[in-house]
Chains A and B, each alone.
Chain A
Amino acid sequence: LAKTTQPISMDSYEGQEVNITCSHNNIATNDYITWYQQFPSQGPRFIIQGYKTKVTNEVASLFIPADRKSSTLSLPRVSLSDTAVYYCLVGNQAGTALIFGKGTTLSVSS
């Protein structure tokens, strides 16, 4: 399984765009990149998934460069309610399950 590295914490203000970068140097050819969000005392929630280039949904965008050794989760115009832990996960193998790291704790202030 590819190991991921992401910042432990980030701070932002309401209305700003937040970019969280995840490094995954050992990503395999068939690996997907997936991001989850977790609020305190709640289960993680799927945000976005991608394989290459750019993926956008109603919540976020995911930018993946050509070498796929990193990815960036972009949250446009964050609000206080975006304060949460964000996890980056990489993998594809059936027979294994999602391994969550420490994630990035995003704190949004007014």
Chain B
Amino acid sequence: DSGVTQTPKHLITATGQRVTLRCSPRSGDLSVYWYQQSLDQGLQFLIQYYNGEERAKGNILERFSAQQFPDLHSELNLSSLELGDSALYFCASSGQASSYNSPLHFGNGTRLTVT
């Protein structure tokens, strides 16, 4: 158990809809990362927050947004969903701002299916 909790585990929704994915980091971790994994794209970095502030941005679509709250949990909002957004969405946390000298701890992901 990594200590990172993601909810829900599964989500099925229709195109055009909006969903919110939730992540609770390990106790004491200040950084939260969001990754998307689909079969044809591998693990894609979306966005990182550190202590409530956006720290790094990857290939995150404009239809997607995220935030980290004062209690350090994070939410990833996906809107105007398309079939291609179907994927596993992982949240990870670490104790440091840099992900390279502080191991990331991943949750078990939210599987999003857009129909």
Q: How far apart sit A99 and B45, CA to CA, in the bound complex (Å)?
A: 7
A89 and chain B: residue at smallest CB distance: B100
Verify if B78 is at the interface (C-beta below 8 Å from A).
Answer: no
Q: Quick check: is A92 within 8 A (CB to CB) of the other chain?
A: yes
Q: Is the CB of B88 within 8 A of A41?
A: yes
Is A46 touching B33 in the complex (CB atoms < 8 A)?
no
Contacts of A38 in B (CB 8 A): 43
Determine the distance from Cα of A36 to Cα of B98 in the docked complex, in whole angstroms: 16
> A residues near B, CB below 8 A?
31-32, 34, 36, 38, 41-46, 49, 87, 89, 91-103
Q: With contacts A34-B100, A102-B42 known, what are 11 further pairs, Cβ within 8 A?
A: A31-B100, A41-B108, A41-B111, A43-B4, A43-B92, A44-B104, A89-B100, A91-B100, A95-B56, A97-B33, A101-B42
